[in-house]
Amino acid sequence: MRTINLCWLMILLFPFSVFAGRVRTLPASSQEMPVIHLMTGRSTVLRFSSPPKKVIIGNQNYFNIEFIDSDVTLQPLANTTSNMFVYGDGFTYGFILKVDHSADYDDLVFIRNKVPSFAQPTTEKMSVKVPVAKKDLKFTIAVPKNSKVELQGEAFKWNESIKSFYADIYITAKAQKITPTDSVKIQILSSGQDLTTIKPVFEKDQLNQNVKGRARIFANVSLKQTLKLKVQINKEEIIFDLKWKK
């Protein structure tokens, strides 16, 4: 009986401790992918300085999304991890969505534009050391002869938040007039192994004939690896050789 009374006392004293979310302000920029913590059964609101125009989620089947003025409301349907890009007037922000049962999930996140370091006042000039392993990895893409698809890209960049490299590549489909991007698959291969860490995200819902379409790919890569990009469009596969620049 004493144990039961003690349990009721704990419940009365801490009725909301298990489900206590947090409210925070998150500085964001187009060069970073900060993490948003979600919880199943709870909604999380991202509040922007101006109304977003479009939101793209990698695994869109696992999230409900609603727009209300400058707010984007996210409700996860399963425990999963995905990436999300938000487009608005003068900004493009990327986020990593993590769904778990942590009590530290986000209830409300104020998204504010991050002031670049060079714009901040400093009392003295300091040198910035960049680890060799995290410098931009520049590359070119060799397009096979008579290929119906062209692929272009410049460099893999390191993102500290997700501990992974990412690269923006541009796809131009020559043969078909309109190709839905959900039918396009991109893999980064090394010795036959797929290095892709997060599902690629496309800027638009479709690729138009002879018009460049942008996609962001994620992979843990290094200059010591020989890489290939495998692109599958409507069940047709094309292999591209990725060559590192010195």
Q: What is the DSSP string of 75-139?
A: EESSS-EEEEEEEETTEEEEEEEEE---TT-EEEEEEEEPPPGGGS--SS-------GGGS-EEE
* Structure-token pair, residue 1: 């009986």
Are 18-115 and 132-244 equal in CATH topology?
A: yes
Alpha-carbon dihedral of residues 216, 217, 219, 224, nearest 10 degrees? Answer: -100
Q: CATH assignment of 18-115, given 3.10.20, 2.40.50, 2.40.10, 2.60.40?
A: 2.60.40
Q: Over 70: is that where the pLDDT of 5 sits?
A: no
* Structure-token pair, residue 86: 């938000």
Q: Over 80: is that where the pLDDT of 54 sits?
A: yes
Gap between the Cα atoms of 86 and 70, Å rounded: 12
Gap between the Cα atoms of 96 and 115, Å rounded: 21
Higher pLDDT, 8 or 35: 35
Mean pLDDT of 90-112: 86
Tell me, yes or no, if the pTM score tops 0.75.
no
Task: Fold for 132-244, please state it.
Answer: Immunoglobulin-like (2.60.40)
Q: Determine what percent of the chain is predicted with pLDDT higher than 90.
A: 29
Q: Over 70: is that where the pLDDT of 118 sits?
A: no
Residue 218: count other Cβ atoms within 10 Å of its Cβ: 24
The vertex-46 CA angle with 44 and 51, nearest 5°, equals: 140
Q: Over 80: is that where the pLDDT of 9 sits?
A: no
For the chain, the structural domain boundaries read: 18-115, 132-244
Q: Over 80: is that where the pLDDT of 132 sits?
A: no
